[in-house]
Amino acid sequence: MMRRGIVSEAGLIAHGRGEAFDYLIGEKSNDFAIKSEKAAVATMLLAERPVISVNGNAAALSGKEIIGLGEILNAKIEVNLFHRTEDRVKKIVEYLESLGGRNILGPDPDARIPGLDHARALCHKEGIYSADVVLVPLEDGDRAQALKNMGKTVITIDLNPISRTARASDITIVDNIIRAIPNMISFSKDMKNLSIDDLKKVVKSYDNADILKEALNAISENAINEWETQNRK
Amino acid sequence: MMRRGIVSEAGLIAHGRGEAFDYLIGEKSNDFAIKSEKAAVATMLLAERPVISVNGNAAALSGKEIIGLGEILNAKIEVNLFHRTEDRVKKIVEYLESLGGRNILGPDPDARIPGLDHARALCHKEGIYSADVVLVPLEDGDRAQALKNMGKTVITIDLNPISRTARASDITIVDNIIRAIPNMISFSKDMKNLSIDDLKKVVKSYDNADILKEALNAISENAINEWETQNRK
């Protein structure tokens, strides 16, 4: 995917960081991740203008699933890159179209996210700019914060529970995107039938600070358990 | 360095994994790392045929310092790649020579490490093959184990204290290579003046299992501390 121009060089390093954190949370969807994924689905089902922001790594890892999730949740998909080049935006859009994506936003931005450099600020008026809820998997901290500052509800998928993105977001899914999106698709199918009141209850009972705490506890415990397992050998 | 053909694509991902673990140990040379670095220097000063194995990431991150360490410890330097291509070996040798390295082994292997695939087994008879002590920073687990199986003393630098490399090695330096090699250079300057008996005492008092345990405890504690810091804000 890097050789095809979809993933950036920096994206490979970011992927490695994710691998390490995934190992430390046990390479599974823990309870804290499931809770976040359900709250994320409820929030997006309640949204008026939900948007899924897609970068190179997200497209490479979960392009097809993201398109599927967008269809179920009636969410627009917008390609939005931290290391933006017009060439890479175009290639990612073409890739998503080859997977069945339609009306993918990204190549012709007509708005800007306030507080960011020009290239990082570019977005679509009918997409991220006017969204009330944005799912930004594998996002940079500055951009997650800038979206928060616009008053949006920000949902992220980030394996590092201590990252600025994780802390800036309303809902932080500490899970590998390749597990998180299929889980969200599965929850969406059930939760679509819930009443607005029931969806609101799911959102109201969710506490992101608790989730981050649970994720850090899991890392801490797994590190100690690894040592004990190793010591018994 | 990737664009120059020195670091492999997989090397970027491995670097990202290292970044995550470095963050979790506090991006500093902890006590456990200092102890390992001293034991490593003592072991290499006592060695008859010490060799430093260098791959793309090690060359890119610490090429100049590795050459300096090799000079102080009278250790040979051998370029030895997990994702071996003759072109990359040649480029890394040229790069190390541009930094002042001399007699760098790697391009004309005439021996093989038993138990590995052909490309991964290639080495020099006068280098890794006949070494009694090998420093293999950022090494793959299979190769660390294969060197152990040959009866060598294996020293590694690996930020992941749970990796197979970390567990297979006699001395595991859980530190960033960009801090570890300068530390080792500094310790070498002092420890060169120690008697053989004193160097042997340093080696004898070293317990790698304790070091790995300390590193895992540090990760566990840092994860919890991060949460508490975050919670106070």
pLDDT-derived band at B27 (thresholds 50, 70, 90) equals very high
Report pLDDT digits (tens) over A206-223: 999 999 999 999 998 888
Nearest by CB to residue B13, choosing from A16, A213, A223, is A16
Contacts of B216 in chain A (CB under 8 A): 223-224, 226-227
**What CA–CA distance (Å, rounded) separates B75 from B187?**
15
Asked if residue A123 lies in contact with residue A109, where contact means CB atoms within 8 angstroms, the answer is: yes
pLDDT at A40 over 90: yes
Handedness of CA B180, B181, B182, B185 (dihedral sign): positive
Q: Tokens 């490479």 correspond to what residue?
A: A60
d(CA B97, CA A226): 41
The reply to whether B207 touches chain A by the CB within 8 Å rule is no
CA-based nearest distance B16→chain A, Å:
4
Residue B140 pLDDT: 85
- The answer to whether B17 contacts A19, with C-beta atoms less than 8 Å apart, is yes
pLDDT for position A231:
67
Residue B105 one-letter amino acid: L
**What is residue A105's DSSP assignment?**
B
Chain segment B103-116, per-residue pLDDT in tens: 999 999 999 999 99
Widest pairwise Cα distance in chain A: 60
Q: Is B99 on the interface with A (CB under 8 A)?
A: no
Q: What is the pLDDT of residue A140?
A: 85
Cα three-residue angle B115-B54-B214, rounded to 5 degrees: 85
Chain A residue with CA closest to B222: the answer is A220
Residue B224: the pLDDT is 82
H-helix or E-strand containing A72? helix A56-73
Determine contact: A178 vs chain B, CB below 8 A: no
A32 reaches B (C-beta below 8 A): no
Q: How many CA atoms lie within 13 A of A39 on its CB side?
A: 24
User: What pLDDT does A118 receive?
Assistant: 87
- CA A48 – CA A153 distance, rounded (Å): 12
Q: For the residues A97-122, what does the mean pLDDT come to?
A: 95
For residue range B145-183, what is the model confidence (pLDDT) as tens digits? 999 999 999 999 999 998 889 999 999 999 999 999 999
What is the rounded CA–CA span in Å between residue A3 and residue B115? 32
pLDDT at A162: 87
Which residue in the block uniquely carries the two structure tokens 């996210």?
A: A113
Q: What is the per-residue pLDDT for A119?
A: 86
Give the burial string for A202-214 (b: 16+ CB within 10 Å, else e): bbeebebeebbbb
pLDDT per position as a tens digit, B44-54:
999 999 999 99
Q: What does the pLDDT look like over A46-83, one tens digit per residue?
A: 999 999 999 999 999 999 999 999 999 999 999 999 88
Lowest average pLDDT, out of A33-42, A122-131, B113-122, goes to B113-122
A228 shares contact with chain B (CB less than 8 Å):
no
CB proximity A216 to B under 8 Å: yes
- Note whether A54 and A66 are within 8 A (CB): yes
pLDDT in tens, A74-83: 999 999 998 8
Tell me if chain B has a CB within 8 Å of the CB of A14: yes
The whole-angstrom distance between A62's CA and the closest CA on chain B is 18
Task: Look at the block and give the residue holding tokens 């791959």.
Answer: B55
* Contact in structure between B155 and B43 (CB atoms under 8 Å): yes
Chain A CB contacts of B24 under 8 Å are 24, 219
Pick the closest to residue B81 from B116, B56, B61 (CA basis): B56
Using DSSP's 3-state secondary structure scheme, residue B193 falls into coil
Q: At what angle do helices B31-46 and B177-191 cross, to 10 degrees?
A: 50
Q: Which chain A residue has the Cα nearest residue B226?
A: A162
pLDDT at A181 over 90: yes
pLDDT at residue B104 in the model: 98
- Contact at CB, A16 and B14, closer than 8 angstroms: yes
| Whether residue B57 has pLDDT greater than 80 | yes
ipTM, 2 dp: 0.91
Q: How much is the mean pLDDT over chain B?
A: 95
Selected residue of B3, B7, B13, B224 to mutate for chain A interface (largest A Cβ count, 10 A): B13
Closest residue in chain B to residue A222, using alpha carbons only: B220
Rg value, chain A, Cα? 17
Contacting residues of A for B167, CB less than 8 Å apart: 230
Angle of the A56-73 helix axis to the A31-46 helix axis, nearest 10: 60
Contact A209 B231 (CB under 8 A): yes
CB–CB contacts below 8 A, A to B: 96
- Residue B109, pLDDT score: 96
Mean pLDDT of B13-33: 96
Mean pLDDT of B116-120: 89
Question: Which of B19, B219, B230 is facing A13, going by the closest CB pair?
Answer: B19
**Residue A233 pLDDT exceeds 70:** no
pLDDT in tens, B177-212: 999 999 999 999 999 999 999 999 999 999 999 999
Q: B185: Cβ–Cβ under 8 A, 6 or more apart, which residues?
A: B65, B68, B69, B72
Distance of CA B89 to the CA centre of its chain: 18
Tell me whether residues A20 and B15 touch, CB distance under 8 A: no
User: Is any Cβ of chain A less than 8 angstroms from the Cβ of B212?
Assistant: yes
CB of B228 within 8 Å of a chain A CB? The answer is: no
Indicate the pLDDT class of residue A230, thresholds 50, 70 and 90: low
What is the dihedral angle through the alpha carbons of B188, B189, B195, B201, rounded to the nearest 10 degrees? -40
Chain B contact set for A15 (CB, 8 A)? 13, 16
Query: In a mutagenesis test of the B interface, which of A15, A17, A83, A211 is the best target, namely the one with the most B β-carbons within 10 Å?
Result: A17
Query: How many CB atoms are closer than 10 A to CB B86?
Result: 14
The string of pLDDT tens digits covering residues A132-174 is 999 999 988 889 999 999 999 999 999 999 888 999 999 999 9
Strand stretches in B68-223, DSSP E: 76-79, 111-112, 122-123, 133-137, 153-157, 171-173
Contact criterion met (CB below 8 Å) for B130 and B152: no
The distance in angstroms from the start CA to the end CA of chain B is: 39
Q: Is B19–A15 a contact, with Cβ atoms under 8 angstroms apart?
A: no
Average pLDDT (B83-109) is 96
Report whether pLDDT(B233) > 60.
no
Q: Do A12 and B13 touch (CB under 8 A)?
A: yes
Return the exposure string of B107-142: e unless at least 16 CB atoms fall within 10 Å of the residue's CB, then b: eebeebbeebeeebbbbbebbbbbbebbbbbbbbbb
Which chain A residue lies closest to B232 (C-alpha atoms)?
A209
Sheet (strand B76-79) strand order: B76-79, B50-54, B133-137, B153-157, B171-173
In this prediction, residue A83 carries a pLDDT of 85
